[in-house]
Amino acid sequence: MTEVAIGNGLATSFWSDSWAGEPLRKRSPMLFEVSRRKNRTVADALEDDHWLMDLRGRITLALLPDFVALRQVMRSCNIDPDSDDTFRWKSSSGGYSASSAYALQFVGTQQSPLRHIWPVWAPPKCKFFIWLLMQLRIFTVDRLLRFWMPNQYFCPLCRQNLETPVHLFAECPWARQVWERSASLFCCPAIRKPAGDDLAPSWVVSKLAGADRRAASITTLVAWEIWRERNRCVFCNKELSVSGLVHLISDEANSWVLAGARHLVRRE
């Protein structure tokens, strides 16, 4: 709930304080995880590029976008050795107030984007999957590589790119056709992914947060079925066409309707 204006950087935590917008440990959780030193001050991290040395040998392809973004942050950071870091209470007015202190109690609970998952009408296993996806904890190849586990490297749906959550649910041309066709099938343009949007997990959750009840269920259903199709390719060596998967999504939606999801009834 505080933000920092950097002076000499001696009092500011490199990973945990809000000195460059959102704390870096939240902005780049995977980089934070692989960093050998998590308690450096900003001054310490900048000195002789210590932050870089902490990551040496640990940057995989999956971490590269985060790494490039962090490097830009570091390049634009200016230390002023003659002034102290200043901490400012972060509220709409910029000053301390009882209401902003009250709101602080709920940081990480009510404010978590994960809270949007549980009210969605969908089977618990699908919501649990979305919960894992949001935290980048599904076992796509980038995660398998980090644990030295066997993997097929390429996305099994398009066979063009390293498989990451971002690729699988947002960038993959094969999966994007599924999102498009599903949007038409359900007459639900809200689930179309806007061009140029960022990471898949934040995109999926923005659908859950901003969308109506129907779009939230359809988003969960389509993401779940894309994941199941991915698993069929990897573990059963079977694959469906885009039309085949959309047909399966349609059948599954009918099952959800029979189980009580009346809001999923197809709109003509």
Binding residues for Zn ion, per CB under 5 A?
155, 157-158, 172
Distance CA 65, CA 70 (A): 9
- Using the minimum distance from each CB to Zn ion, give the nearer residue, 158 or 257: 158
To the nearest whole angstrom, how small is the minimum distance from the Cβ of residue 167 to Zn ion? 6
**Listed residue (158, 29, 99, 244) closest to 16, CA to CA:** 29
Cβ neighbours for 147, distance < 8 A, ≥ 6 positions apart: none
The radius of gyration of the chain from alpha carbons, rounded to an integer in Å, stands at: 22
Please, are residues 54 and 32 in contact by the beta-carbon 8 Å criterion? Answer: no
Considering the complex, state which of residue 17 and residue 163 has its C-beta at the smaller distance from Zn ion: 163
Residue 171 CB, nearest distance to Zn ion (Å)? Answer: 7
Q: HEC profile for 53-102?
A: HHHCCCCCHHHHHHHHHHHHHHHCCCCCCCCCCEEEECCCCCCCCHHHHH
> How far apart are CB 243 and Zn ion at their closest, in Å?
17
CB of 253 to Zn ion, least distance (A): 23
Q: Is 18 helix (H, G, I), strand (E, B) or coil?
A: strand
Helix axis angle for 124-134 and 213-231, nearest 10°, is 80
Instruction: Tell me whether residue 79 or residue 158 sits nearer to Zn ion (CB atom).
Output: 158
Which is nearer to Zn ion, 192 or 263 (by Cβ)? 192
Cβ closest to Zn ion, residue 155 vs residue 211: 155
Least CB distance to Zn ion at residue 158 (A): 3
